[in-house]
């Protein structure tokens, strides 16, 4: 059974940093691209970042709203995906989901999400 | 960026009805279109990929069509568990973008 479990969300002050984790099981993590998607309270879905797999040199993509502040990374030996978030702003407040990217580049599995609140 | 526009933004229907949700892309995306269902307090669930392909385990009451810029999601024989918010998503180019959502209400 494919499982994705996010953790690391909490309350942080503006300008602060936070690192989210996504632990996966039930599939060969190293084969897949992985993404982060967020959802602000009462709002729609916003794509955040992508980590390609080893075969594609672990290259990354970012939304303009987080580029230069957030860093996506992965540890294939730990079956884990990460999102390092720096210089956090109040508008980064959201539930953050990790999602698996299928071979045809669509999203097929999602985690349950972890809540990040940026507030003083 | 490719803008994804869903219509309607909200929709009222009854158990047993068939509903159609549309999604329009601001430029052609071939068939790189996915549909997701989200219930309150829950993570999104993948329904359809490649505009018309059902994700494994998704019932055939859900169907998708379209190519290029215009797409539809059809939900047949509505049941209480189908009342949720539905999102389309393009994955043709970066940044990946979602529609604003369609809230399907009883």
Per-residue pLDDT of A60-86, as tens digits, reads: 999 999 999 999 999 999 999 999 999
Q: How many Å apart are CA B45 and CA B48, to the nearest integer? A: 10
Closest Cβ opposite residue A45 in set B50, B87, B94:
B87
Q: What is the mean pLDDT of residues B32-60?
A: 97
pLDDT digits (tens, 9 = 90+) for B7-21: 999 999 999 999 999
Look at the block and give the residue holding tokens 């953050």.
Answer: A96
If you average pLDDT over every residue of chain B, what do you get?
97
Chain A residues within 8 A of B49 when measuring between CB atoms: 102, 104, 106-108
Q: For residue A37, list chain B residues with Cβ-Cβ distance below 8 A.
A: 44
Q: What percent of chain B has pLDDT over 70?
A: 100
Give the per-residue pLDDT at B106: 85
| pLDDT of residue A44 exceeding 90 | yes
Nearest CA in chain A to B98: A45
Residues of chain A with Cβ-Cβ distance to B101 below 8 Å are 44-45
What's the rounded Cα separation, in Å, for the pair B85 and B40? Answer: 8
Q: Give B17 to chain A, closest Cα distance, Å.
A: 25
pLDDT at B105: 94
B23 bridge partner residues: B6, B71
Q: Is residue B3's pLDDT more than 90?
A: yes
Q: Does A61 touch chain B (CB under 8 A)?
A: yes
Mean pLDDT of B31-41: 97
Residue A56 above 90 pLDDT? Answer: yes
pLDDT at A47: 98
Q: What is the CA radius of gyration of chain B?
A: 13
Q: So what's the pLDDT on residue B58?
A: 97
pLDDT value at position A108? Answer: 94
Averaged pLDDT score across all residues of chain A: 97
């Amino acid at each position: 059974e494919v499982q994705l479990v996010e953790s690391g969300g909490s309350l942080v002050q503006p300008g602060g940093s936070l690192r989210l984790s996504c632990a996966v099981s039930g599939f060969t993590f190293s084969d897949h691209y992985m993404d982060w998607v967020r959802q602000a309270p009462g709002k729609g879905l916003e794509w955040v970042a992508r980590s390609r797999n080893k075969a594609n040199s672990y290259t990354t993509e970012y939304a303009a709203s987080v580029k230069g502040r957030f860093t996506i990374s992965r540890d294939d030996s730990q079956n884990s995906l990460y999102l390092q978030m720096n210089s956090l702003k109040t508008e980064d407040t959201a539930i953050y989901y990790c999602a698996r990217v299928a071979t045809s580049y669509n999203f097929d599995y999602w985690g349950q999400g972890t809540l990040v609140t940026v507030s003083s | 960026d490719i803008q994804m526009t869903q219509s309607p933004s909200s929709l009222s229907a009854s158990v047993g009805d068939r509903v159609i949700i549309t999604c329009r892309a601001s430029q052609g995306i071939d068939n790189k279109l996915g549909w997701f269902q989200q219930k309150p307090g829950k993570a999104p669930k993948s329904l359809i990929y490649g505009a018309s392909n059902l994700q494994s385990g998704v019932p055939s009451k859900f169907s998708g069509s379209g190519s290029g810029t215009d797409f539809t999601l059809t939900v047949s024989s509505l049941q209480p568990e189908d009342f949720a918010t539905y999102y389309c998503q393009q994955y043709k180019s970066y940044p990946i973008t979602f529609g604003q959502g369609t809230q399907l209400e009883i």
